[in-house]
Amino acid sequence: MRDERMSFRGGPLVDMPLMLAAVAIVTLGLVNLYSATSVYVELGQHSRLADTYVSQIYWVVVGALMAILAAAVDYRHYERLATILFAGGMGALGLVFLLASDIRGSARWIDFGGFAFQPSEFMKIVLILMVARCVHNDPKTEPRTLVDLALPIALTAAPCAAVMAQPDLGTAIIYALISGSILSINRVRRWSLFTLVGAAGVFVTLLWNYGMKDYQKARITSFLNPEADKTGTGWHALQSQTAIGNGQLFGEGYMRGTQNQFGMLPDQFSDFPFAVFAEDWGFVGALALISAYAFLCIWAVHIASQAKDRFGAAVAIGVGAMVFWHAICNIGMAIGVLPVVGITLPLFSYGGSSIVTMMIGLGLLMNVSMRR
Alpha helices in the chain (DSSP H): 16-37, 39-42, 46-72, 75-99, 119-136, 146-164, 169-183, 190-206, 214-222, 235-247, 258-261, 273-305, 310-335, 352-370
- For residue 85, the tally of other CB atoms under 10 A from its CB is 17
Are 76 and 369 in contact by the 8 Å Cβ rule? The answer is no
Report d(CA 354, CA 11) in Å as an integer: 30
Are 277 and 304 in contact by the 8 Å Cβ rule? The answer is no
Where in the sequence is the domain holding 115, given as residue range(s)?
5-370
Report d(CA 274, CA 69) in Å as an integer: 30
Report d(CA 96, CA 216) in Å as an integer: 20
* Dihedral (Cα; 42, 45, 49, 51), 10-degree rounding: 180
Are 178 and 130 in contact by the 8 Å Cβ rule? The answer is no
- For residue 176, the tally of other CB atoms under 10 A from its CB is 18
Report d(CA 201, CA 211) in Å as an integer: 14
Report the number of distinct structural domains present in the chain.
1
Question: For residue 14, what is the enclosing H or E element?
Answer: strand 13-15
Alpha carbon of 76 to those of 125, 243, 308, 317, 367: distances in Å?
A: 15, 45, 11, 16, 10
Strand 13-15 and strand 5-7: the pairing is antiparallel
**pLDDT given at position 352:** 84
Q: Exposure pattern of 108-133 as b/e (b: 16+ CB <10 Å)?
A: bbbeeeeeebbbbbbbbbbbbbbbbb
The rounded radius of gyration (Å) of the Cα atoms in the chain is: 21
- Candidates 295, 298, 256, 301; CA nearest to 276 is 256
Tell me phi and psi for residue 74, to 5 degrees. Answer: -50, 130
**pLDDT given at position 142:** 76
pTM above 0.85, yes or no: yes
**pLDDT given at position 287:** 96
Query: Which residues in the chain come in under a pLDDT of 50?
Result: 8
**pLDDT given at position 164:** 87
- Candidates 71, 172, 58; CA nearest to 115 is 58
**pLDDT given at position 197:** 84
**pLDDT given at position 359:** 96
3-class secondary-structure state, position 296: helix
Report d(CA 256, CA 38) in Å as an integer: 9
Report d(CA 106, CA 124) in Å as an integer: 19
**pLDDT given at position 49:** 57
* Dihedral (Cα; 128, 129, 135, 139), 10-degree rounding: 150
Q: Which amino acid is at 304?
A: A
